[in-house]
Every structure is written in structure tokens, then in C-alpha cells.
Chains A and B, each alone.
Chain A
Amino acid sequence: MSQANRKSRVDLYALVWRLPIILWQMLFFIGPLLFLIAMSFFLVKNYRMIETFDMANWNRILSKDYFWSSYWYTLGMASLATVLATVLAFPASYALAFKVSANTRRWAMFFLIVPFFTSYLVRTFSWYVILAKTGVVNALLAYIGLGPYTMLNTPIGTMVGFLTLVLPLLVLLQTLSLSQIDKNLIEAAHNLGSGRVRTIFNVIVPMAKVGLVVGALFCFILSFGDFVSPYYLGGSTPQTLSILIIDTSKAGQQWPRAAVVAICMMTTLFVIAFAAIAYAYRKPKS
């Protein structure tokens, strides 16, 4: 069998295996995405979409101050949630990966998955009881003479919601990533005189970089597009882009204008995702 024949057979074999995911992406991602882009140029008249090519929606949305203030607020909150969640999750992930027995790690992983058994909306509503002025946190603070503090319907409420959403997932991803590190390398670092903190930053973090970045990226994506926390815990003050999409589509059924906001969100996510992945896989300079 010639080399060329073998190559074409290998390609066909690979293609057959790749086909389901390609078809899936075409049907459920590329197709809707193209429709979304096309829809952003449609117009709405008498609550019906008119298929045309008009820049009016883009001009209108991009010229509005409220769009840009929502955009920067959403970007800022999602970035903050990513940093906070990454920093908060890392010690727990580190402990689960290196400091506990395999059995404890299995149980911990199980308990990290348990929150996903219940609806995110239900979990969000349960924060009402905890964060309200008459809630658990303020009741505890009252014992030491503090408060009451307003936490619901503020960016603090939104942030608590974001962390509720992403923290368990992030700990899982980080733990899986850290668990893959060859323990001999850590031991070698210690044997060569590297302290614990230095080992973490010079050995563990670089080796788990891909997993840590992917975890942070997931955190950003989920927070950036979340509607539930900013609406129910943040009280829409101020509103995020996902709330703006809801508002825009509700008022006069302006789905094309909502599509403009959605495309801006997706573009932002694409840019950040590509940058993050490029950074994660960048080879260190030798």
C-alpha cells in the first residue's frame, strides 16, 4: 500500500469519527449563529420581523450610552468574578489534589457536584434568606454589633450569585488539573531547596497552567452571560448585557436589536477565549 493511499484512508477514518461533532456544531452552533447575524440586520414592523439588510439596529444600539455602560459593567463584574473565584478556589483545589487521601478527594468531588443537582435559580433564591436585611448574615453580624448591611439588589448580591454558579465548577476543574501533576517534580523542587510558596508559583502553577486558565475562562464565560444573579440578587442595578437583551426583546419584540447585543457579547467572548487559550498553550521561552 502506497504512502498516499494510507494517508487518504487515515483521513477518511478520522473524518468519520469527527463527523458527528462537525454536524452537531453546524446544526446547533454555526447555523443559529449565522441566523443571529442575519437577524441583526432585520427590521421589526407591527411586531413582525421584516427580512432585509439594514444597519439601523447596529447604529441604534452602538450609539446608546446605556449599552456601553452595561457592557463595561458586565465585563468588569465577570472579570472580578473570575479573579475572585480563581483565588478562592485554588487553596481548596490544592488541598484536594495534594493534601488529602484519595477517598476524601472522591467524596469532596461528589459534594462539589451535588449543587448541580438543584436548579441554579433555586440556589439563587435561597440567597434571599441569607443576604436579606433580616437574613442570616445580618443576624450574625448583629451579634457583634455590626450592620444591618444591604447586600441584596447590589453588585455584592450579583457577585455572590456568580460565585455560587462558578465556584464548585472551578474547584473541580482546578483539582483535576492539579492532580495530573507529577508529584516527583514537586518532591524534586523541595529537595532542591524550594520552599512551599515558591514551589506553588514556580512548579505547580506553570504545570497546571492550561487547566487553571481553562477553569478561569469557564468562570468568565458563565458570569459574563448570566442573567439570573444580576436580575434576582443584583436587582438589575445596574443592568448587565443579558438583562438588556431581555429588555430589548420585550419592548416591541425587538429581537434584531437584541441580536446586536448578543453578537457583541459573543465577539467579546471569542476574543477573550482565544487570548486565554493562546496564553495557556504558549510555550515558555527557553
Chain B
Amino acid sequence: MNENTKKTVKNRARRELLKYTAAAGIAAPFIKSAKAAPTEINMLAWYGHGEPDVVGAYEEANNVKFNAKYYAGGDNMLALVSQSPPGTYDLILSDAEFVSQLNAAGYIEEMDAADYNFDDMLHDDFKQFPGHWKDGKLFSVMVRFGHLGVSYNTNAMSAEEAMSYKSFWKPELKGKVGHFDWHLPNLGMMSLLNGNGAKLWDLDDAGWQALQETTMSLRPQAGGFFDYGGTFNSLKNGEMQAMCGIGDWITGVLEKDGAPVASVVPKEGGIQFTESYSIGKGSSKVAEVKKFIQHMMSPEGQLRSTEMAAYPAFCVTKGGRALLNESNPKEAQRTGQVDGAANDPIVLINEGRIHYRDIPIQQGLEDWNDFWSDYKNA
């Protein structure tokens, strides 16, 4: 090959390279778009619900992407919804006691009950959960729940001692009883201790006065008021030996990590937190959201929900519980999600020891909050 031929070949090769590069450049956007962009679903939820351990596999399998906006507390959730235009949130995870307020304000869509397998629910109450239905129409579907009671360091207290809220007054626990910094579960527990039972949220003036006195008498025992992170840390490092206002949703995470902590539902009763999915008013992705809620009600979805890394909760369906027992019997045992177990959450509900969390009926939330501020400053 002479010098000229070499040059020609080299030039041709360069032209070919440029040609294919240009062609690839032009084609690239079309190649990329061969896989459709994922459908974005705007979710409003407590922390953890939009994390990969819960929705990652579903996103992958269904080409959707969750844009999660997290809130802390039902008040906060209601404010976020009320301050946003309709259609901002496609999917709303709410504490059950706030569903009726979401509905009353017209922030959620009616749902078709036939779309969801209510027959698989573990308890009849879950099928017709208070506030989820109005005039025979469905507005929210319960997806998980948990129980609140006495949470304690197992080195400081026995399970038997923890079986009463009175254990918070143990002299050895002076300055070592922590509070989850939210008035509702704390005062709810004090109301149960006062013997209000099923009427724990419906207190007349005398009952409200008695509740305040009981709570104030606990103040010398109180060592601090904490958010999720603070509660977690203070139990883990042993600064707090007992905690009021929480349950297995925090101690469960620590327990799995080997910390000597546990939670029980005391004899005076426990409080149930209930989390439910609703479809946001004006959502343009109703079909996609419905499909996701159906997935979360499926055994697979229930398993992911109950094992959520941020905070565990109980399954609401028989299918979910069965799959949990099959795939993670240790966790099923630990949480009592075994049919017939003494601490089976369904058994506790049937025994009347569990009361669904609600908001105060005869007082305003702000009255409870004012008292909570008084208590913190006492």
C-alpha cells in the first residue's frame, strides 16, 4: 500500500467514524425514549413509605416513580394538603383519625370498594374502619397498624412490671422516663390509666381535670421529650429506661438491632395507630394509585409494609400475615403476628384491650396541646 492509498483509507475511516457518531448522536434520544419515562406519583406520607425498601421493587416492575413528601403528624399532613392545589398529591397516607377530616374538607376521592379485597382483612373492624366510610361510600383503605403501650429497657424493668402504666412511677425510674413529644398518645395513655377505657378520648370536665392531675404527677419522673431520633437514641444509650407514647414501632427497630428494649400492651389497655391510603382529590393518576394500593394490600405489599426499615407495623390482611410467617417467622413471632399467640394484636383487639387512636372529643386539640406545654414547663 503506497502513501496515497494509506491516506485515502485513513480519511475514509475517519469519515465513517464521524458518520456513525453523528448517526448515533441523532438516534440517541429516540433509543432512550424506547422505554417510556416512569409515571410519577406524588405521595404524601409519614417517613419511610416512599423509600426503596417499600416501593423500590414496585417502581421497577411497574415503571412508576414515587415522589414522596414526608410529614410528621396529622395536623402537619392536613395543613400540607389544605395549602396545596387539588391534584398536588396523588396518594395520601394518613393516620386513620384524620381521614374523616380529609374527607369532610373534600381532599380525597371516593374509592370503589370492589377494587379491594376486604374479605382478606384480619379483623372485621378493619373492613369498616371508623371514618373510612361515609354514607356507604369508601374513602380510605387501612394498610397497616401498630400498638402503643409501655416501652421499656428490659434491664430496668420486667415484662410483668411493664404490664401497667403505673410502672412509669417506679422510684428507680426517676428522671429516666422519656416522652415521645406528642400530646395525643401520652395523654391517651394517662387517660387509660385513669380507667377511662373505651371513653379515653371522650372526657368530661371532671375526667379532663383528673387526666391533667395524673399526668402532672408523672412530671418528676420525666427525663425528656423527644422526637423520633431523640427517642431512638435515648432508649439505645440507656439514658431513658422507659418511654411513654410509643410502642413497637420504635422499640422494634432497636430490638432487631440487639438493644435490650421491648414494648407491651399493659392491662389498662393500649392505643392503636392506624395508617390508611387515600387517593388525593383531583389526581390525574387514579388508576396507577389504585393499582399501588392493591399491591400494598397484597401479601407481597403487606410483607414490605410490616418489615419497613423506618418503623415496623402489623399486617392487616390474612395473606400478608401468612407470607410473613412463611418468609420471616422470627419477626412474626417477635411481633405476635402468629394466629393464637398470646400477644397476637388481633387477639388483643378482640379482648377489648386496644383502643383506636382518636382526637379529643369534648376538648379541642389546642387545649390538650396547651396542657402539654404546661406539663413540659412544670
Contact = CB atoms under 8 A, between A and B. Distances in A.
A231 B227 contact: yes
A105 interface: no
B82 A132 contact: no
A1 to B, nearest CB: 57
B376 A238 contact: yes
Contacts of A237: 222-225, 376
A247 B79 CA distance: 15
Contacts of A236: 181, 224-226, 376
B151 to A, nearest CB: 16
Contacts of A25: none
Given A48-B82, A239-B376, A250 B73 contact: yes
Interface stretch (B231-239, B242-250, B251-259): B231-239
A236 B370 CA distance: 15
Nearest to B105: A46
B76 A150 contact: no
Interface string B65-94: 000000011011011001100000000000
Interface string B100-116: 01000100000000000
Contact of B79 (A133, A232, A253): A253
A60 B105 CA distance: 27
B372 interface: yes
Contacts of A238: 376-377
Contacts of A165: none
A47 B82 contact: yes
Nearest to B219: A237
A153 interface: yes
Contacts of A244: 373
Interface string A235-249: 111110000100110
Interface in B206-235: 222-227, 229-230, 233-234
Interface string A91-127: 0000000000000000000000000000000000100
Interface in B171-187: 175, 178, 181, 183
Interface residues of A, number: 34
B234 A153 contact: yes
A70 B376 CA distance: 10
Interface residues of B, number: 38
B50 to A, nearest CB: 22
Q: Classify the secondary structure of B's interface with A.
A: helix
Interface stretch (A7-15, A61-69, A187-195): A61-69
B239 A66 contact: no
Nearest to B224: A235
Given A153-B239, A235-B230, A251-B365, A66 B225 contact: no
A202 interface: no
Given A132-B238, A239-B376, A46 B82 contact: yes
Given A66-B373, A231-B227, A251 B366 contact: yes
B230 A252 contact: no
B62 interface: no
B374 interface: yes
B53 to A, nearest CB: 23
B328 interface: no
B75 to A, nearest CB: 6
A132 B181 contact: no
A47 B376 contact: no
B327 interface: no
B376 A252 contact: no
Contact of B370 (A64, A135, A150, A231): A64
Given A244-B373, A247-B373, A134 B237 contact: yes
Nearest to A73: B377
Nearest to B83: A48
B230 A232 contact: yes
A135 B236 CA distance: 12
Interface in A222-275: 231-232, 234-239, 244, 247-248, 250-254
Interface in B326-378: 364-366, 368-370, 372-374, 376-377
B82 A128 contact: no
Given A153-B224, A237-B222, A253 B373 contact: no
A152 interface: yes
B281 to A, nearest CB: 15
Nearest to B369: A251
B75 A250 contact: yes
A235 B369 contact: no
B73 to A, nearest CB: 6
B241 to A, nearest CB: 10
Contacts of A232: 229-230
A238 to B, nearest CB: 5
A134 B233 CA distance: 13
B239 A250 contact: no
Given A132-B238, A250-B73, A231 B376 contact: no
Interface string A32-48: 00000000000000111
B377 A251 contact: no
21 contacts: A47-B105, A48-B82, A128-B237, A132-B237, A132-B239, A150-B175, A150-B223, A153-B224, A231-B227, A231-B230, A232-B229, A235-B230, A236-B224, A237-B223, A239-B225, A239-B377, A244-B373, A247-B369, A248-B369, A250-B73, A253-B79
The 6 closest A-B pairs by CB, nearest first: A235-B224, A251-B369, A153-B224, A236-B225, A253-B79, A66-B373
Interface of A: 46-48, 64-66, 69-70, 73, 125, 128, 132-135, 150, 152-153, 231-232, 234-239, 244, 247-248, 250-254
Interface of B: 72-73, 75-76, 78-79, 82-83, 101, 105, 175, 178, 181, 183, 222-227, 229-230, 233-234, 237-239, 364-366, 368-370, 372-374, 376-377
Given A150-B175, A237-B376, 9 more contacts: A46-B82, A46-B105, A47-B78, A47-B105, A132-B237, A133-B238, A231-B227, A237-B222, A244-B373
